[in-house]
Amino acid sequence: MTSFFPFEARNPYPNCSEASPHRPFEPLTKLYPIKELTPYFSSSFPSLPIRSTSVPSAIRDEMDDDAPQERGPSPPDPPSPLHDILAENPVQVDDAIPDHDSVLDESESSSSQSTSLKSSIINYKYENGRRYHAFREGTYPVPNDEQEQDRMDMVHHIYRLLLGGKLYLAPIGDHVRRVLDLGTGTGIWAMDFADEHPAAEVLGTDLSPIQPVWTPPNCIFEVDDFESDWLYRQPFDYIHARELEGCIANPDKLFRQALEHLTPGGYLEMQAVDGFFLSDDGTAEQAVHAQAWIKSMLDGARKFGKPLDTCSKWKEQMEDAGFVDVRQEVFKFPIGPWPKDPKLKEIGTWQYWQELQVVESYTHGIYSRILGWDNVQIEVFKAMVKNDFKNPAIHIYLPVVFVWGRKL
C-alpha cells in the first residue's frame, strides 16, 4: 500500500474556509439554489433530443424479448429481496407537481482534469472521454475524473440528508480511536468524521489518489485495494464502507478481514443502494428504458464478477462471518421531486441529478467492455434512460441498505 497526502486541493465545501477545523452540516440548498448548482453537477455528454418511447432495433436486440414496450395499466412491481420491508412504508406522491417540472430540465455540461503523483498510480487510463484508475487497472469499471468526483460528493450530501446530518448509524459512541473508511473516494466522509471526532485517527483507502491535499490533522489516505490481504498492524474501533456495490468480488473474505481487524466491541458498517428500480404505485414498469438499463447493468456486473445487487445479503453474511448484534435498516432514495414528504422531495431532487451522473459514469464501462455495445448504441440508450428519470409520472426509488455488526 502507498501512503500519501494527495496532490490536488478540491474543496467540496465552497462556502467554508479551508482553515476552519469544523464544518457543520447544512443542506447545500441553503448555500445555493438548486438551479445554481445544476451546472456544477451536470454531465459532460449533452442529452440527445430523443423523446420516443420505442427502443431502436440495434438496442432492442440486446434487451429481453419480453421487456414491456407499451405504457398501459401498470402491473405490480416484481418482488425483490427487500420488497416486504419497503412495502411497510410507501412513499406518497405529491400530486401538485406539474407534468413538466423545471427542476428536471436543466442543461448538462462539465469538465475534468488530471494531475500527477507517482507514475505507477496516476498513469491514468482514458476511454470514451473519461479517466480511469491506474492502480490495479481494470478492477473497477467506473471513472475517477472530476466529473465522477463531483458525483461522489453529491452522494455524500444525499446520505447526510437521509440521516439528518449524521454520518453513520452504528452505536459506536464518542470514544473511537482508530477508524477505517474503505473505498473512500474523494475522502469527504473520512474528513467529516475526522472533524467530528478530533481524538480519532481516520484512515481512508481507495484505488485512486483523488483526495484533497487539505485534510484534518487526524485524517490520512492510502492507495490500497481492500480486496487484497489486509496488513494493518493495529486494529480499528470502527470500519465504514459506503456504496461498495459493484466493488466486491468476495464479500465473505471482506467481512472476515474486517472482523479480524476490529477491536473487541468494534463495529463494521456497510451503506449501499440495492440495484433495483422500485415503486409503491406500480409506475416502475413504465420506466421501460431505465428498467432495461439496470437489468443489463446487473447482468454485466455479474459477468464482471462484482455484483450490484448483493447488499440485501450482507446481514446474513456478516452473521456468518462472526459478527453479533447485526442490524439492518432500509430506506428509500426517490428519483425526482415527486414525493409529498418535504425531506424525501429534497432527497429525490438531488438523487435525480445524481442518477443522471450514474448513467454517465457507469454505463460505458459495463456496456462497452463487458456487454460489447458500441458508442452510438450507448449514447442513444443513455438519453432514453434519462428521459425515464425526467418523467414526473414515474415514481421510482432505489432501496438504501444500512447494515452494521459488532465484534465480540
pLDDT tens digits along 155-169: 999 999 999 999 999
The CA radius of gyration of the chain, in Å to the nearest whole number, is 21
Report pLDDT for 84: 75
The full set of domains in the chain, from first to last, is 43-64+73-406 (3.40.50.150)
pLDDT band per the 50, 70, 90 thresholds, residue 139: low
- 220 pLDDT higher than 70: yes
Stretch among 5-14, 172-181, 212-221, 244-253 having the lowest mean pLDDT: 5-14
Whole-number average pLDDT of the chain: 79
Residue ranges in 112-175 assigned as alpha helix (H) = 119-122, 146-162
How far, rounded to the nearest angstrom, does the alpha carbon of residue 344 sit from its chain's CA centroid? Answer: 17
For residue 144, the model assigns a pLDDT of: 78
| C-beta of residue 40 within 8 angstroms of C-beta of residue 149 | no
Q: What phi and psi values does residue 134 have, to the nearest 5 degrees?
A: -105, -35
Confidence of residue 364 (pLDDT cuts 50, 70, 90): confident
More confident residue, 92 or 217: 217
State residue 137's pLDDT score.
Answer: 62
Decide if pLDDT at 88 tops 50.
yes
Cell numbers standing for residue 35: 438551479
Percentage of residues in the chain having pLDDT higher than 70: 71
Say whether pLDDT at 118 is over 90. no
Tell me the HSE value of 50 on the side-chain side, using a 13 A CA sphere: 19
| Burial bucket for residue 48 (CB in 10 Å: 0-12, 13-18, 19+) | middle
Average pLDDT, integer, range 140-146: 77
Whether the predicted pLDDT of 311 surpasses 50: yes
Q: Tell me the average pLDDT across 184-209.
A: 95
| Confidence grade of residue 233 (pLDDT, cut at 50, 70, 90) | very high
What does the pLDDT read at residue 140?
A: 64
pLDDT at position 10 is 37
Q: What percent of the chain has pLDDT over 90?
A: 54
Q: Identify the band that residue 22 occupies on the pLDDT scale cut at 50, 70 and 90.
A: very low
pLDDT for residue 134: 62
Res. 349 pLDDT band, cuts 50 70 90: very high
Q: Using one digit for the tens of pLDDT, what is the confidence trace for 280-290?
A: 999 999 999 99
Residue 8 has pLDDT above 90, yes or no: no
Give mean pLDDT, residues 354-370: 89
Q: What is the mean pLDDT of residues 289-305?
A: 92
Q: Which of 54-63, 192-201, 254-263, 391-400 shows the lowest per-residue confidence on average (mean pLDDT)?
A: 54-63
- Looking at residues 366-372, what average pLDDT do you find? 87
List the beta bridge partners of residue 221.
Answer: 4, 204
Top pLDDT among 75 and 235 is at 235
Name the helix (H) or strand (E) containing 377: helix 375-390
Distance, CA of 312 to CA of 278 (rounded, Å): 15
Separation of alpha carbons 255 and 213, rounded Å? 31
The whole-number pLDDT of residue 30 equals: 41
The pLDDT value given to residue 201 = 98
pTM as predicted: 0.74
Q: How far apart, in whole angstroms, are the C-alpha atoms of residue 138 and residue 130?
A: 14
